[in-house]
Chain A
Amino acid sequence: MGQFIVRRLLQAVGILFLLSILFFILVNLAPGGPLAGYGGARHLPPEQAVILRKQLGLDKPLPVQYVIWLAGNDWMRVDQSAVASGTSYGTRRGILRGDFGFSFQTRQPVLTVISERLPNTLYLMVATLLVALAIAIPAGILSAVRQYSFFDISVTTFSFAGQAIPDFWLGLILIIIFYAWLKNPVTGDSLLPSGGILTIGVPFSLLDALQHLILPLATGALGWVAWYSRFLRSSMLDVIHQDYLRTARAKGLSERVVIYKHALRNALIPLVTLFALDLPYIFSGAVFIETIFAWPGMGRLYYQAALQRDYPVLLAILIIGAGFILLSNLLADILYAVLDPRIRYS
């Protein structure tokens, strides 16, 4: 297993390198540029465009820009001035040494920009995923065990609805109901806040944090509950009629043990694949939910960066996101072995 993990990690490094080239080319080849609509100024004066191009490092050929992005420019003499040239070493260290550059829009280091939003996204997405799994797994199992029962039909109906309802619509409806219509009977305030992570300007309280979490979590979890429960139901149905479960029952094992220890374990394997594919969302966030609920997370950051052609931020999110995907897949492979003793990696 150890060798397998090391091999996969080495492969991941190679894949990330290739992806870095691909991402850099694609981002830069996309029509438009960061100077168009720089901030809110649609039409930048031409003399300013020249200065900005230099300040942002866009005046250099694309391959040079890539090398600087990857390996920095503190080892080469650079032309930083609009008038002088080649007089000093650069200050960039490159992503290989943990320097992702600075945001074209805010001029902050990219890692600072990301680190300010990533905890918010992790908080929301992990909570959403855990709640979704906590509901979906029992619902999926019970649906399969009690196939065609009222419960099964209800879960199936709910799942179809959950998959069909778009996040942005559901989020707005929940805000109208729980923020605009329903009031707290004691204080007379809105039952739940419309957005944000915490109430601004008041000391932290866990209750306040949870109140702010409920609506975005409910909006995000609905789709995942529907998706996972549906998938697990199908997976369980494939398993529960197999011979080895009949053997388990014949051995006198209780139905609870048969279902949860023998059936569920095998049924979870496809779910693990699904889960691994969803894990990167924990990093990338959800644009619509973050927008509707004013949640300062990675989804909004990525969307803004894409609109504004903020290349350094865009590239950092893409490359870190790719790393997450590779790690998630590795985690899935490891979980296969954990869940199914027959799977062994050499």
Chain B
Amino acid sequence: MKRSFLGALALMFLQGAALAALNVVATLTEIGALVEEVGGTRVKVESLARGDEDPHSIAAKPSHSRRMSKADLLVYNGLELEIGWLPLLIEGARNPRILEGNSSHLNLSDFIHPLEIPEFVDRSLGDVHPEGNPHFTLDPGLYPDLARVLSERLAVLDPDGADYYAERLDSFVQRWNRRLLDWQQRLEPLKGVEVVAYHNLWSYAARRFDFEIIGHVEDRPGIPPTPKHVAVLQTRVRAENVKLLLYSDLVHPEIPKRFAERAGCKSLRLPQSVNSREDTENLFDWFELWVSLLEGAIKEG
């Protein structure tokens, strides 16, 4: 009895390490999903944020630090999206491998060209990101490059799996590019269309699919909009005959719906990330739903 208890305890400690070559911790669910695509069975991935949590303000739970304490690789978004909680978790993890400057510390934003780098930064502008708009994971066109970065990094950390990661990368990029082409064709009618957005989430997606965001309801990130700003934007939406207001799962639907009613446009709730709602368990399903919703809204006019 005693022996079997000790055996079970030992198994509990060794769990994970024995099943996969690398323990990977990702901050966001979409980043975790991408690691799974590239790493397959050689990685054990844990995402810190849930799909329905605001990535700006995840609670820095000590249990997250515990997850990171055994990580062989930490992958995060960067551009200060996680600045409010990730540094504290890294400090609490006491895992020298995942400190900045090591190969086990991967900031994905180092491999993209950020949009909207502000010339002037001040807290009166709200929760601004001095290094640029951090929401690049909402652009499906960037995923092949991000997957390549991940594959190379996994190969550095697990050289025995280099061929495996390269194969998985090729497979992912081929499947993804086919779907991307399909999504671009279906969203062809979106080209040049003017929309408004609740939060500044879709700048990268707008560049990819060539639609224009003429304004944001939340004009200063993280700060509730003033009635004056809302009124001015509603007037502009009416005057310019803007048809669509985009908002994410994270925003309570009541506020965008009220705005849309008064501005005379439609409101469309888009999935924020992988696992932000049902049927978004992986990257393909997430963007498929995202595209379908936009496609439907455009068809309805």
A, B co-complexed: no
B interface list, Cβ under 8 A from A: none
